[in-house]
Structure 1
C-alpha cells in the first residue's frame, strides 16, 4: 500500500538536525535524518603549510563586544573533523561547549580575542573586527611558533602559514620575517560562508561564539536589568523586538554601541 504524502507538513526540529514529517489524518509522524554538509578539512593538503582558520561572532548586535578566534588544526587523522560544524547550527549549549573543549584540547593552537563596544564606536565595526582578527592570528602564530621551536623547527624555513578567513574582506597582515629580514605578508583567502565550508573556520566560529555567549551570560548575571529591561540573555544583544522596546523605554546602557541603529538616538 502506498502512502499519500501530498498533504504532509514539514516541521523543523533543529535541535536534532532532523525533519519531522507530520502526516495527515491518523498517520504516524516519522523522522528522517538531514545530511549535514561535509566540511572540507583543508584548503591545501601540503603538510608544511599550516592553515589558520579565522572567524568572528558579534558584528551585528547593538550591544557589547565583537569576538574573533583563530585555530590551527592538525593535517592528519588525530582530529575528528566530523564533530565540528558552523556555530550557528548548534542549538544546545552543552553540545557546543563540548565541541569547543574538544577543539581546544586537539587543535595545534588556538586563540580568542575581543574588542569592546567603545572600540567599535571609535573605529567602526569593520575596523574593530579586522583589528580583533589580526590579534587572534598573531597570537595563535606566536603560540604555535613557540611549540615548533621546541621541536627544532625554524619559521618560514620548514613551514609556512596560510589564512582561511570567513567573509569577503580581509585587511592583509604584514610582519617582519626574521629569517629573511624582510617584510612579508601572510597569504590568505576569504571564503563567504566559510564556517559552513572549512573545518578550521567552523572551529574558529565555535570558539568565538562560546566565548561571547559566556561574556553575555556573566554580564547578565552581574546586571539583572539587562535581562529584565532588554532580554539580553536570550537575544545576545541583537536587535530583537524586546531589545528594541527596552531601549525605547529605558534608553541605552554603557555596553550599547552608540554608533549602531536606534542607539544613535540616545547619544
Structure 2
C-alpha cells in the first residue's frame, strides 16, 4: 500500500498550489493503470477523464494552498504542511513524494521523476494538475487579460507582458521575484518589491 504524492503549481506566479496523495485500489482496472503517466505528458482533456477515474479507484487526499498562504508562509512551509496533512489523512505502508526533497517530513521518501516511475505518483500528479487547471480556467473568467486558461498561472512571456500592462491581480503571488519585469532589482512594481 504505497501512497504516491505529487504537486501542481509549485512554479506558478498566480493561483494556488495543489498537493495530492493517492493510494490506488487493488481492484483498479489494468486498462486504467496502464494509462497513468506523468501529467505533463497528457493532454488536458485526457487528464480530466483520468482524474475522475482515479478518484473512483483510489483513496486520495488533495490539499490546496492559496496564493495568499504562499505569500504569507513561503512555498516550502506550505509544501511541508500539505505533505504532513496527507500523511495524517491517508493510511499507507510507504509515502513517496515526487522529487528529491522531503521538506523535513518524517516517514516520507522521495523519488526523482517518480511521476513517470510509479503509477500511484502518476495518479497523484494527474489529480493535482487537474485541480490546478480547473482553478486557472475559473480564474480566467475573472481575469481574462492574463490568459490563465492557457498559461495556468506560469510565467509565460504573454503572462509577464500582461503583468507589465495591467499590474498584478488579486491572485498573483506577490512574494515571487519577477526580475524579468524589472530593469534593476531595487525597483518596485505596482507598489510591491520585486
TM-score where L is the length of structure 1: 0.64
Query: Is 1:122–2:122 an aligned residue pair?
Result: no
Gaps of 5+ in 2: 182-187
Q: Which residue of 1 aligns with 2:189?
A: 265
The residue number in structure 1 matching 2:184 is none
- Separation of aligned partners in 2, 1:240 and 1:78: 38
Q: Aligned residue for 1:89?
A: 41
Displacement of 1:96 after TM fit?
1.2
- Could you tell which deviates more after superposition, 94-103 or 69-78? 69-78
Contact kept, 8 Å, 2:61 with 2:89, in 1: the verdict is yes
Does structure 1 retain, via aligned residues, the 8 Å contact 2:4–2:97?
yes
Q: Which residue of 1 aligns with 2:185?
A: none
Does 2:156 match 1:240?
yes
- Native 8 Å contact 1:67 1:115 kept in 2: yes
Matches within 5 A, 1:203-218: 203-218=123-138
Aligned equivalents of 2:75, 2:29: Cα separation in 1: 37
**Greater mean deviation of Cα atoms: 76-85 or 52-61:** 76-85
Larger RCO (CA under 8 A, 6+ residues apart) = 2
More helix by proportion, 1 or 2?
A: 2
- Please state how far the C-alpha of 1:220 moved relative to its aligned partner: 1.8
Deviation of 1:55 (Å)? 0.3
Instruction: Give CA deviations for 1:26-79 in whole Å, capped at 9, x if unaligned.
Output: xxxxxxxxxxxxxxxxxxxxxxxx211000000001111000100001346755
Taking the TM superposition and a 5 Å limit, the aligned residue runs for 1:62-73 are 62-73=13-24
Aligned pairs for 1:127-206 (under 5 A) are 127-141=77-91, 161-173=93-105, 185-186=106-107, 188-206=108-126
| Paired position in structure 1 for 2:144 | 227
- Contact between 1:58 and 1:65, CA under 8 Å: does it hold in 2? yes
3-state SS in 1 of match to 2:93: strand
Query: Greater CA radius of gyration, 1 or 2?
Result: 1
TM-score (norm 2): 0.86
Alignment RMSD (CA, Å): 1.9
**Contact kept in structure 2, 1:168 and 1:191, CA below 8 Å:** yes
Q: Secondary structure at the match of 1:83?
A: coil
Deviation at 1:140, TM superposition (A): 2.6
Q: Residue 57 of structure 1 corresponds to which residue in structure 2?
A: 8
1:256 aligns with 2:188: no
Residue 127 of structure 1 and its aligned partner are, at CA, apart by 1.6
Structure 1 residue 130: Cα displacement = 2.0
Contact 1:62 1:261 in 2 (8 A): no
1:247 Cα deviation from its structure 2 partner: 0.8
| Pairs aligned (count) | 182
